[in-house]
Amino acid sequence: MHNNGHAVSYLDYKGKHSGIFAWILSTDHKRIGLLYLMASLLFFAVGVTFGFLMRLELIAPGRTIMDAQTYNSLFTLHGIIMIFLFVIPGLPAVFGNFFLPILIGAKDVAFPRLNLLSWWLYILGALLAVISVFLPGGPADTGWTFYIPYSIRTTTNVMPALIAAFILGFSSILTGLNFIVTIHRMRAPGMSFFRMPLFVWSLYATAWVQILATPIIGITLLLVTIERLFGVGLFDPALGGDPVLYQHLFWIYSHPAVYIMILPAMGVISEIIPVFSHRTIFGYKFIAFSSLAIALFGSMVWAHHMFTVGMSETAQIIFSLLTFLVAIPSAIKVFNWVATLYKGSISTDAPLLYALGFIFLFSIGGFTGLIQGALSVNMHIHDTSFIVAHFHYVMFGGTGFGIFAAMHYWFPKMFGKMYNMKTAKVGFWVLFVGFNTLYFPMFVMGWLGMPRRYYDYLPEFHIYHLISTIGSWILITGLIIMFTNFIKALRSKTTYTAINPWGGETLEWTIPNKPPLENFEVIPTITAGPYEFKDNDEFLMKENN
C-alpha cells in the first residue's frame, strides 16, 4: 500500500545491510523498538514458565516436582528476568523507542547509534544472565535482591548474574539519557512541554529516575562483585562492614526502579483513556506534574523495604510518612482518569479494557502498598506472601496490563494489521480472572503468616496455594489467547489501512500504518494540545447548559 515513492514503511525499508543485519544493525528507533519487543517477550515467556513451575511446586505441601535448591534458583531467575529483562525495558525501551519520536514530531531519537548500543548492551546482559544458568555451580539462588552476606557466601553463579544486572543497568541509563535529550531538543515546532502527550511526560520523568538512580545499583553490584573477588570487607560484618548499608544502597536504586516500571504504564493509560472516552483529559497538568512528583518522592522512600532490619525509630517514621506521601500523586492520576471517563462517549475496545484493568488492579496494589507502609502492620506482614501479592498487583496488574494495553492500542499502527477484537476481549477477561485467582489468595495467606520464598508450607495454607496455582493456569490460558490473537493478525494477509482506528488526536494517528523511515514527510507544526476532542466537549457543554 506504500507506492507513493518516498513513504516506504520502516518494515520494508532497504538500507545498507540486508537480512538479519538490517535489523540488528539498524539505528531506526522503530526497528530498535521491535527488537526490544521481541527480546523482552521472549524473556517474558521464560519468566512466565518459571513462575508456572514454582506455582506447580506449591500446589501441595512438601516436594512436588523439584527440590528446594531448584526452587530457590527459580524464584531468583524469575525475579531477575521479569524485572531487568521484561518490566523495566517493557514500556520505555519498546513503546518509548517506537513512539516517543513520533509523538513529539521527530524523525528519530537524538542519538540513534547510542540507542542501538543500548539494545546490544541489553542483549549482552541477557546472554550473561542466561549463561549463569548453565555454568557449573548452578544458577544464582540469592533472590533478585542479592542480599549480603548470603550473596558473598553462596557458591552458585552470583557473579555473572551481578554483572548481567550491571550491564542491563547501563543499557537502561543510556536509553534514559537518549530520551531526555530527545525530549528537550527534538520536539516539532509548536510542541511546547504542555502540548506533549502524557506518555511523553511519563517517559521524561522515568528517564530522570533511570539516569539518577541506576548508577547507584551499578556501583552497589560492582562492590558485591569486588567483595566476592577480593574480600575487601565493605559489607562483611566479620571485617567491620555493614550488610544493612548494602540494603540501603540496593533499595536507593531499586525502589525508584519500581517507578521506572510503573510511570510509563501510567503514561500509556493517560493516552488510552481520553481517546476511548473521546474526551479531553481531565487535569492534564496535574497528571504531567504528578509523574514528576512520583519520580521525586519515589526516590526518598527506599527504607520502607527495611523496617525489620533495625533502623532508628525516627528513620522508620520518616520513611513511613514519605511512603504515604508518594500515594498522593498516584491517587491524583487515578482520580483524573476516572474523571475523564465521566460523561465520555466510551467505546469498550480491548485497549480500554486493559486500561480499566490497570486502574482496578493498580488501585488494589497501591492500597495494599499503604498497608505495608504503616509501621506496625509492616512488622506483621514483612516478608510474607502479602508482599508478593502486592507487588504482583502493581508490577503485573499495573505495568504488565499497561504493556498489554499499549500492545493492543498501537498494534495496528506498528504492523498495519488488526487483531480480532472479540478474541482480544475474551483474552482480557480470562487474563483478568486468572490474575485475581492467582494473586488474591496470596494476600490472605500472607496475612495469615505464609512467608515468601518458602519451598514448603503448613497444611493449613494448602487451600490458598491450590486456588493460586489454578489461577496461574487460567492466567496462562489468557496469555495464550492474547498472543495467538496477535500472531494470527500478523500472519493474516489483509492489510489494515485505517490510519486512525480509535480516533486519537496525537501525532502517530496522522501518519500511515507501518510508518516510513523518517516518520513524517513534513515535520508537523503543532498548534494545539494532544487531547482536544472538540466535538464531544462542545456537545457536553451544550448539554450542561
Residues that bind other proteins (CB under 8 A): 2-3, 5-6, 8, 13-16, 107-108, 110-112, 114, 173, 177-178, 180-181, 184-186, 211-216, 218-220, 222-223, 226, 230-234, 239-242, 245, 249, 252, 517-518
* Nearest CA among 17, 210, 30 for reference residue 116: 30
CB of 270 to other proteins, least distance (A): 25
Least distance in Å: CB of 159 to other proteins?
A: 17
Q: How far is the CB of 493 from other proteins (least distance, A)?
A: 18
Q: What's the rounded Cα separation, in Å, for the pair 436 and 21?
A: 42
Give the separation between CA 216 and CA 245, rounded to whole angstroms.
Answer: 13
Bridge partners, 384 (sequence order)? 451
Burial 281-298 (b: 16+ CB within 10 A, else e): bbbbebbbebbbbbbbbb
CA 208 to CA 192: how far, in whole Å?
Answer: 19
**Cα 118 from chain centroid?**
17
Question: At CA 356, angle to CA 100 and CA 387, rounded to 5?
Answer: 90
SS3 state at 106 = coil
Q: Residue 264, by phi and psi: left (phi above 0), alpha (psi -120 to 50) or beta? A: alpha
Nearer to other proteins, 122 or 362 (CB): 122
Least distance in angstroms from the C-beta of 266 to other proteins? 23
Q: Cβ closer to other proteins: 456 or 521? A: 521
Closer residue to other proteins, CB minimum distance, 2 or 453: 2
Minimum gap (Å) between residue 483 Cβ and other proteins = 32
Q: Of 242 and 535, which has the nearer Cβ to other proteins?
A: 242
Evaluate whether 332 touches 283 at the Cβ level (below 8 Å).
yes
Which amino acid type is present at position 380?
H
Nearer to other proteins, 71 or 204 (CB): 204
Q: For other proteins, which is the closer residue by CB, 187 or 408? A: 187
Q: Minimum CB separation from other proteins for residue 204, in Å?
A: 12
- Quick one: CA dihedral 437, 439, 440, 441, positive or negative? positive
Nearer to other proteins, 32 or 355 (CB): 32
* Smaller CB separation from other proteins, 108 or 349: 108
Give the gyration radius of the chain's Cα atoms.
23
Residue 350 burial class via C-beta count within 10 angstroms: exposed 0-12, middle 13-18, buried 19 and up: buried
Q: Which is nearer to other proteins, 181 or 296 (CB)?
A: 181
Min dist. Cβ of residue 239 to other proteins (A): 5
Q: Provide, rounded to whole angstroms, the least separation between the CB of residue 180 and other proteins.
A: 6
Report the alpha-carbon distance of residue 127 to residue 104 in Å, rounded.
Answer: 34
C-alpha distance from residue 9 to each of 329, 512, 515, 533 (Å)? 40, 8, 5, 29
Q: How far is the CB of 193 from other proteins (least distance, A)?
A: 15
